[in-house]
């Protein structure tokens, strides 16, 4: 492959990467505006439908909209860590309302009710195994992007390219 063709191919790759980067940036802005957030499951408590490594996209909902059977992500009382489990029941008579949760793979309900006084996030969609890819993506993308930039910087310019003053 000639240097000119290699340069043109590299340019096309950069153009595609730029478009993909722009789409990713727009997706992040849209998620921030709408309140949708990704969560990666780190345990198998929601298996088999949502095993460890599943990417769950959550959206904010009001506590009165929760129903038994919904999958929600809530702060674990006393820790601040998040837990993603299925709603077993909701008690709207308490102040604040509370929910009893259970992981699909668990034999018993979680040992405590979860207060619904803060952000309540209901699962909108989930993709098994994608969470692992998303968690590892930043390092891979940065490494590949840096390597691509180095290769492109080292490519020789075309013979008809020169400084602007030299082009006629």
pLDDT digits (tens, 9 = 90+) for 37-55: 989 999 999 999 999 999 9
DSSP-derived secondary structure for 1-41: --HHHHHHHHHHHHHHHHHHHHHHHHHHHHHHHHT-EEEE-
Q: Taking the complete model, does pTM exceed 0.75, yes or no? A: no
Q: What's the fold here for domain 37-126?
A: Umud Fragment, subunit A (2.10.109)
For the chain, the first-to-last Cα distance in angstroms comes to 29
The span from the CA of 60 to the CA of 102, in Å, is 20
Q: Indicate the average pLDDT of the chain.
A: 84
The span from the CA of 114 to the CA of 78, in Å, is 11
Q: Which of 153, 150, 131, 152 is nearest to 142 (CA)?
A: 150
Sorted by where each begins, the domain ranges of the chain are 37-126
Least confident of 27-31, 59-63, 138-142, 157-161: 157-161
User: Mean of the pLDDT values across residues 78-93?
Assistant: 93
What the block records as the tokens of 137 is: 């993506």
Least confident of 9-23, 64-78, 100-114: 9-23
Cα of 141 vs its chain's centroid, Å: 15
């Amino acid at each position: 492959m000639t240097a000119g063709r290699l340069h043109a191919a590299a340019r096309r790759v950069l153009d595609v990467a730029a478009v993909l980067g722009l789409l990713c940036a727009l997706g992040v802005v849209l998620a921030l505006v709408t309140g949708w957030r990704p969560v990666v499951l780190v345990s198998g408590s929601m298996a088999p439908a949502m095993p460890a490594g599943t990417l769950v996209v959550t959206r904010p909902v009001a506590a009165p909209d929760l129903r038994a059977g919904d999958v929600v992500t809530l702060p674990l009382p006393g820790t601040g860590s998040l837990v993603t489990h299925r709603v077993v029941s909701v008690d709207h008579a308490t102040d604040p309302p509370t929910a009893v949760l259970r992981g699909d793979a668990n034999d018993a309900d979680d040992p405590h009710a979860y207060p619904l006084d803060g952000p309540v996030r209901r699962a909108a969609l989930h993709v098994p195994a994608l969470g692992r890819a998303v968690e590892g993506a930043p390092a891979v993308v940065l490494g590949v992007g840096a390597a691509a930039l180095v290769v492109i910087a080292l490519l020789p310019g075309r013979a008809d390219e020169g400084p602007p003053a030299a082009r006629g």
